[in-house]
Amino acid sequence: MAQVDYKELKQNGFIRQVDKEYFVLRIRVSGGQIQADKLQKVYELAQKYGRGYIHMTSRQSIEIPYIKLEDIEAVKGELKSSGMQTAASGARVRTITACQGSTICCSGLIDTTSLAVEFDEKYYGREIPHKFKLGITGCRNNCLKAEENDLGIKGAMKPKWLESKCNYCGLCEKVCREKSITVNKSSQTLLYDESGCNYCGRCVKSCPRGAWEGESGFVIYFGGLFGNRIAIGKQLFPVIFSTEQLHRVIGTTLEFFKKHGKPGERFRNTLDRIGWELLQEDLEKVFR
């Protein structure tokens, strides 16, 4: 009987269960979205090879438990024919998570779905010293908890006031949680303190007259952890407004981790060991 390479199986999405006769199949999902026809196929696989149920992971993947070793090749074949893939495991860039973003959610400031697809195509499965989690959240409500990821992205919006359209109703002042806007109805004046703005975009979204315009951007956090060790990711530079620059930041970060990280060492632990300033120096080159 041929020897089973359990490590390779795990790296390719088949994870051994407590009951060692069985494996959990983890299916690749991008940004929490899966087409209905593919979901139908997941149902069929769970009925045929599992025990008729699935598990939704905390990072928006789908798992089918109780796959037998002898069925793995058949499952792979059916997945491939339906246009699906197993999820990466081990020391790789993991599933890209995302909220619904600006195409669906009224609070969304960025198109998280499109970004998740881009990230999935460009970074997913890339081999690095340890697992690396990328998460995208559409606004300050932070549903995807950007600061808990190795690299987390939060939608932002830089507002611009258009005096000619304003009737000084004061709604923008009311919704501004940072108290960066002051409206005087009697004198017909508005003061906006950009230094206190957190780019939440509430003023832009709430204005009934379009007196606020907004430029969408990205706040990036580095080194978050939420497992055996809990650490909040850090924002190392101001909001950026270019997707090209965003990709350069991500690429630089992954190369930094590949260069400095030790096998089995999480990104945050690498930064704490060698110094955050080294990452910041590399990232500053992106903005030159």
CATH class held by domain 97-152+219-287: alpha beta
Distances (CA, A) of 113 to 61, 100, 208, 246: 15, 6, 27, 15
Angle at 96 between CA 217 and CA 140, to 5 degrees: 35
Kindly report, residue by residue over 268-284, the tens digit of the pLDDT.
Answer: 999 999 999 999 999 99
pLDDT of res. 288 = 74
Q: What share of the chain is helix, strand, coil (3-state, %, to 5)?
A: 35, 25, 40
How is domain 6-81 classified at the architecture level of CATH? 2-Layer Sandwich (3.30)
pTM of the model: 0.93
**Going residue by residue through the chain (288 aa), what tens digit of pLDDT does each one get?**
568 899 999 989 999 999 999 999 999 999 999 999 999 999 999 999 999 999 999 999 999 999 999 999 999 999 999 999 999 889 999 999 999 999 999 999 999 999 999 999 999 999 999 999 999 999 999 999 999 999 999 999 999 999 999 999 999 999 999 999 999 999 999 999 999 999 999 999 999 999 999 999 999 999 999 988 999 999 999 999 999 999 999 999 999 999 999 999 999 999 999 999 999 999 998 887
Which CATH code fits 157-216? Answer: 3.30.70.20
pLDDT > 90 in the chain, percent: 94
Kindly state the tokens that stand for 192.
Answer: 């906006």
Given this chain, do its domains 6-81 and 157-216 carry the same CATH topology?
yes
Q: Distance (Å, rounded) from C-alpha 89 to C-alpha 44?
A: 24
pLDDT of res. 287 = 81
**Crossing angle of the two packed helices 276-284 and 267-274, in degrees rounded to 10:** 100
Task: Say if CB 199 and CB 207 are below 8 A apart.
Answer: no
Q: Distance (Å, rounded) from C-alpha 172 to C-alpha 166?
A: 10
The single-letter DSSP state of residue 93 is: B
Distances (CA, A) of 139 to 131, 153, 155, 200: 25, 9, 4, 7
- Tell me the domain boundaries of the chain: 6-81, 97-152+219-287, 157-216
Task: Say if CB 180 and CB 196 are below 8 A apart.
Answer: yes
Q: What are phi and psi of 245, to 5 degrees?
A: -65, -35
Q: What are phi and psi of 68, to 5 degrees?
A: -80, 150
DSSP-based three-state secondary structure for 90: coil
The 8 Å CB, 24+ separation contacts for 58-61 are: 59/94, 59/95, 59/97, 59/133, 60/29, 60/31, 60/32, 60/95, 60/97, 60/98, 61/26, 61/27, 61/28, 61/29, 61/87, 61/95
